[in-house]
Amino acid sequence: MTQQPSVASVPDPPRELELKLVVPAECTAALVAAVAARAGGETPPPRHELTSYFDTPDEAIARSGLSLRVRCADGRHIQTVKAGRSNGAAADRDEFEWPMEASEPDLGLLAGTRLADRLPPGLAVKPVVSTDIRRTIHTVRLDAGTVVEAALDEGVIKAGKASTPVHELELELKQGTPAALFRWALALHAAVPFTIESESKAARGYRLRHNQKPAVRKAWDIVLPRTIRAAEAFRRIVGAGLGHLLANQQAALSGDAEGVHQMRVAIRRLRAALALFAPCLEPYAAARFQAELRRVGQVFGQARDWDVFCLQVLPEAMRDPDTAGWCDLLQPPAHAERQAAHRQFAAHVTAPAFTALALGMAAWVEQDAVPGNAALHKLMVDLAPRLLDRMARKVHRRGRRLPHASDADRHALRKSLKKLRYGVDYLRSLYPDEAVDAYLQRCKKLQKLLGEMNDAVTAPGLADRLGNGSRPDLVPAVGALTQQLGRRHDAALDRLARRWKRFRGQAPFWA
């Protein structure tokens, strides 16, 4: 019997780095022409591909983060298993492929790979999703020896009787650097605007199968080895932030309040990453990206503020007998404002500038040498205390006047505290869990209290917009709500000094 190699001896699998772009139907011809011109040849005829995705009856394969498919094209069958590695602006996956004689999968082929234990032979699988695609492929050679396969896919995804159309361009890095791939995507986007699709065909098929809305994704944990250099740590952190941002596009555009919230959180986390590494980065690009993220974040913030007002503030006020009757009057105009804020949010997310921001940041951090000073060459574990100290000093400086601070001062403290918290989240894997958890617990409690106070300050301003001008009938309702929120604000203020003292009194775990 042949002994299977141990996990340690299994070679690294092929890596698939793929940028998936959604192309408006009316722009297809222009985009194909731009790709063909860069490829330096005529457009080849499309290839017809029929693909079946397989899973167990309880969908154990999908739940394990894998996909299993068999694709038939030109009379040949190819079995492919993909495993997610990380998610940034582009999908980064491990990919295993084998030629097949038939259209049924053979899980025995995974023996000797890193997935052997995750997909053992003998699993009962059946087709759950299929695609019928006409694919037009160009091979494009870019600078620095980079080779990209550009595939225009037009067709349909099917799951049972349900189906959804496909119209997208996939840019797969075959050889070379991700930075060159993103730079070319920027050039294409400048000629023919598109949006980035973060969801695979398989994931869309599963969602179609269950008639589910797009999922909301929280930020995933970042694990940094103690041997990692600062430049690579920054690259991974920003990449994860872009992945978090793009992964929530579809949920947010569908009107999901939590999707909007997660996109706003992603913007803040990206800004926190730039702030954390600011002493090390090339200042012009860092400042410009920071400014654009701030601009986008303000638009996202308006939608989030109305979500909080309509879904949290008003329902809480309705539970108070003193304000319940009045707040009934505020609900229709408040929900109209919320819908308008969501329309403005959607216009910004689908605008060319938003896609350009994501591609631009990806191209910037994926350079062989992230622009900055010599500190980026240091071990992250050696640089981390200096960076966290800098952020913590800003928090403590803004908290010195806390007993006599204005609402604006407390809001500034809250923003600095969030950046510190995200900075700790990014670097936590470099330190013992117990010390980090204890620090974060007090950080989060203080942040939550400041958030309650901020909501109590923001909501009356939103309510005032409802009762201002043409709606004098709403003035009593706005007054009642403002009075109730004032009581909540004062109750939170009574607890603030104690929470601040507990936070300020703890020693930094990174010292």
What CATH number is given to the structural domain containing 324? 1.40.20.10
3-class secondary structure per residue, 28-67:
HHHHHHHHHHHHCCCCCCCEEEEEEEEECCCCHHHHCCEE
Number of domains in the chain: 2
Q: How far apart are CA 495 and CA 450, in angstroms?
A: 10
Say whether both 303 and 435 belong to one domain.
Answer: yes
Say whether both 203 and 293 belong to one domain.
Answer: no
Closest-CA residue to 65 (of 85, 45, 46): 85
- Per-residue pLDDT tens for 462-499? 988 886 667 888 888 888 888 889 998 999 999 999 99
- Per-residue pLDDT tens for 183-213? 999 999 999 999 999 999 999 999 999 999 9
Q: Is residue 236 part of a domain?
A: no
Cβ contact 19:179 at 8 Å: no
Tell whether the model's pLDDT for residue 272 goes beyond 70.
Answer: yes
Q: Is residue 242 part of a domain?
A: no
Closest-CA residue to 194 (of 43, 355, 391, 71): 355
Q: Lowest mean pLDDT: which of 259-268, 385-394, 400-409, 430-439?
A: 400-409
Q: How far apart are CA 296 and CA 241, in angstroms?
A: 15
CATH of the domain at 72: 2.40.320.10
Say whether both 148 and 282 belong to one domain.
Answer: no
Q: How far apart are CA 133 and CA 152, in angstroms?
A: 10
Say whether both 498 and 419 belong to one domain.
Answer: yes
Q: Is residue 249 part of a domain?
A: no
Say whether both 54 and 197 belong to one domain.
Answer: yes
Using 50, 70 and 90 to split pLDDT, how confident is the model at 86? low
Q: Is residue 471 part of a domain?
A: yes
Say whether both 104 and 205 belong to one domain.
Answer: yes
Say whether both 403 and 461 belong to one domain.
Answer: yes
Torsion 289-292-294-299 (CA) sign: negative
Say whether both 265 and 124 belong to one domain.
Answer: no
In eight-state DSSP terms, residue 216 is P
Say whether both 332 and 193 belong to one domain.
Answer: no
Q: How far apart are CA 487 and CA 459, in angstroms?
A: 13
Return the pLDDT at 433. Answer: 94
Exposure of 221 by Cβ count < 10 A (0-12 exposed, 13-18 middle, 19+ buried)?
Answer: exposed
Instruction: Give the helix/strand (H/E) hosting 314.
Output: helix 314-318
Q: Provide CB contacts within 8 A for 158, sequence distance 6+.
A: 129, 130, 131, 132, 205, 208
Instruction: Please give the mean pLDDT across all residues of the chain.
Output: 91
Say whether both 323 and 383 belong to one domain.
Answer: yes
Would you state the structure tokens that stand for residue 351, as one six-digit string? 């605008």
Would you state the structure tokens that stand for residue 503, as one six-digit string? 């936070």
Q: Which domain holds residue 71?
A: 7-212
Torsion 154-158-162-168 (CA) sign: negative
In eight-state DSSP terms, residue 107 is G
Report phi then psi at 249, rounded to 5: -55, -55
Cβ contact 13:152 at 8 Å: no
Tell whether the model's pLDDT for residue 41 goes beyond 80.
Answer: no
Say whether both 450 and 350 belong to one domain.
Answer: yes
- Single out the residue in 176, 194, 212 at which a domain terminates: 212
Residue of 86 and 257 predicted with greater confidence = 257
Torsion 30-32-34-40 (CA) sign: negative
- Per-residue pLDDT tens for 25-39? 888 888 888 999 999
Would you state the structure tokens that stand for residue 23, as one six-digit string? 């192309």
Q: Is residue 243 part of a domain?
A: no
Residue of 2 and 270 predicted with greater confidence = 270
3-class secondary structure per residue, 280-295:
HECHHHHHHHHHHHHH
Cβ contact 499:445 at 8 Å: yes
pLDDT > 90 in the chain, percent: 73
Instruction: Give the CA diameter of the chain.
Output: 86
Q: How far apart are CA 104 and CA 399, in angstroms?
A: 64
Closest-CA residue to 252 (of 163, 334, 348, 170): 348
Q: Is residue 157 part of a domain?
A: yes
How many helices (H) and strands (E) the chain has is answered by 15, 9
Say whether both 156 and 261 belong to one domain.
Answer: no
Would you state the structure tokens that stand for residue 192, as one six-digit string? 């023919």
Q: Provide CB contacts within 8 A for 262, sequence distance 6+.
A: 216, 217, 218, 219, 244, 248, 251, 252
- Single out the residue in 212, 247, 267 at which a domain terminates: 212
Q: How far apart are CA 23 and CA 166, in angstroms?
A: 10
Using 50, 70 and 90 to split pLDDT, how confident is the model at 7? very low
Q: Is residue 493 part of a domain?
A: yes
Q: Is residue 38 part of a domain?
A: yes
- Single out the residue in 182, 212, 242 at which a domain terminates: 212
